[in-house]
Amino acid sequence: MSAQKKALLTGVTGQDGSYLSELLLEKGYEVHGIIRRTSTFNTDRINHIYQDPHLSDTKLFLHYGDLTDGTTLRKIIEQVEPDEIYNLGAQSHVRVSFDAPEFTVDTVGMGTLRLLEALRDFQQRTGQEVRYYQAGSSEMFGLVQAVPQTETTPFYPRSPYACAKVYAHWQTVNYRESYDLFACNGILFNHESPRRGETFVTRKITRAIARIVAGKQKKLYLGNLDAKRDWGYAKDYVEAMWLMLQQEKPDDYVVATGETHSVREFLEVGFEYVGLNWQDYVEIDPRYFRPAEVELLLGDPTKAKQQLGWEPKVTFRDLACIMVDADMQALGLPTANGNTSKDVATLREATIGSSWG
């Protein structure tokens, strides 16, 4: 590819935004990220790749903007003239979307429409193609209609977040069909990492394990332990996003591992890894139940395998252990495999990352 290729990301400060930025920088892209102004810094996940904009070889640029602010989105697109846009920005917490439905839908649903409109106008005016990736979610499948879930399984969203993602999905399809845009929907199943937000269940568990070992926490309060998810590793999943935009034709793809596990199983693996019994620490707090739950998600990634050549590389157990190790190290504890001198999580990530072309 040309060294001048430019990508614009919403959600650059999030879990996926940080991994995708790393991937794109490795591939020689100039990366532009939209960040929100906040009273405290929110760039922890990308500080290690951020460079002083005054340096001549800077490849990562940040722009203030918000998915609720269409004018600014337009301005940024005009200024950056991207080849690819990845729309990762969202109020992405399902439980919180029941508490803040209007903001969630404005960001996730209307935000997508604002971005697509700005992109369409830019492309029509300049004649420059901009490829678009929409961060769709397995939450759109919601109440089980069929298992495993594929690109053709009907949606049945069960939260304000999921309803907004369904809206964004269909707007993306409509813009592709109406205006001939190169627009793709990734339907990504849960993906986790040491950079996962601390209130999502996997990270909440691995962080608690480390804190319990360190003597900083006695109990872990959780909600529904029976929910089953198809959990993969975020660093694998951002590669699929990029691959979608490198194809000849735009399309929609399920990205998943093809395995499902319950929250209880994640607890078993994580606690057992440090030699503890989860039943001694976990208590149920109904505040973490959802008004409507998604009980079972299991994706069929056959299309992504066949058409993108994409496959997940990290297993469920390894994922849990990578996350526990990282949280142990963050507290200065020896990791469960006894390696105190090196950053095991980073080492493993480096090994996995090295197989990228």
Q: Residues interacting with ligand GDR, by CB under 6 A? A: 92, 94-95, 137-139, 189-190, 199-201, 204, 222-224, 227, 229, 263, 288, 290, 293
Q: Is 72 in the site for ligand NDP (CB under 6 A)?
A: no
* Measured distance CA(324)–CA(336) in Å, rounded: 8
Least distance from C-beta 143 to ligand GDR, angstroms?
13
Give the count of alpha carbons within 13 A of 193, CB side only.
19
Q: Cα 109 from chain centroid?
A: 17
- The interface region with ligand NDP, picked from 184-192, 245-253, 303-311, 318-326 by CB under 6 A, is 184-192
Number of residues near ligand NDP (by CB under 6 A) = 26
In angstroms, rounded to a whole number, what is the distance separating the alpha carbons of residues 336 and 344?
Answer: 10
Q: By C-alpha distance, which of 147, 113, 131, 164 is closest to 247?
A: 131
Neighbours of 182 (CB within 10 A): 18
| SS3 category, 270 | helix
Among 6, 7, 8, 16, binds ligand NDP (CB under 6 A): 16
Residue 227: name its binding partner from ligand GDR, ligand NDP, none (Cβ under 5 to 8 Å by kind). ligand GDR
The span of 46-54, 86-94, 113-121, 144-152 binding ligand NDP (CB under 6 A) equals: 86-94
Binds 263: which of ligand NDP, ligand GDR, none (CB < 5-8 Å by kind)? ligand GDR
91 binds ligand NDP (CB under 6 A): yes
Task: Out of 42, 51, 58, 79, name the contact with ligand NDP by CB under 6 A.
Answer: 42
**Does 260 interact with ligand NDP (rule: CB under 6 A)?**
no
Q: Is the peptide bond before 157 cis (omega within 30 degrees of 0)?
A: no
Can 137 be counted among the known catalytic residues? yes
Catalytic position from the list 137, 138, 159, 193: 137
90 part of the interface to ligand NDP, by CB under 6 A? yes
Number of H helices, E strands in the chain: 12, 13
Which of 139, 192, 239, 349 is labelled catalytic? 139
Chain centroid to CA 200: 12
Distance in Å, CB of 38 to ligand NDP, minimum: 6
Question: Is 36 among the residues that bind ligand NDP (CB under 6 A)?
Answer: yes
Return the range that interacts with ligand NDP (CB under 6 A); candidates 76-84, 141-149, 186-194, 315-323: 186-194
DSSP 105-158: HIIIIIHHHHHHHHHHHHHHHH----EEEEEEEGGGT-S-SSSSB-TTSPP---
3-state secondary structure (DSSP) of residue 30: strand
Choose one: 23-31, 185-193, 245-253, 335-343; the region binding ligand NDP (CB under 6 A): 185-193
Q: What is the DSSP string of 69-113?
A: -HHHHHHHHHHH--SEEEE------HHHHHHSHHHHHIIIIIHHH
CB of 219 to ligand GDR, least distance (A): 12
Contact 181, 132 (CB under 8 A): yes
135 contributes a contact to ligand NDP by CB under 6 A: yes
Of the residues 19, 132, 133, 161, only one is catalytic, namely: 161
Q: Residues interacting with ligand NDP, by CB under 6 A? A: 10-17, 36, 38, 42, 66-68, 88-92, 107, 135, 137, 188, 190-191, 197
Residues catalogued as catalytic:
137, 139, 161
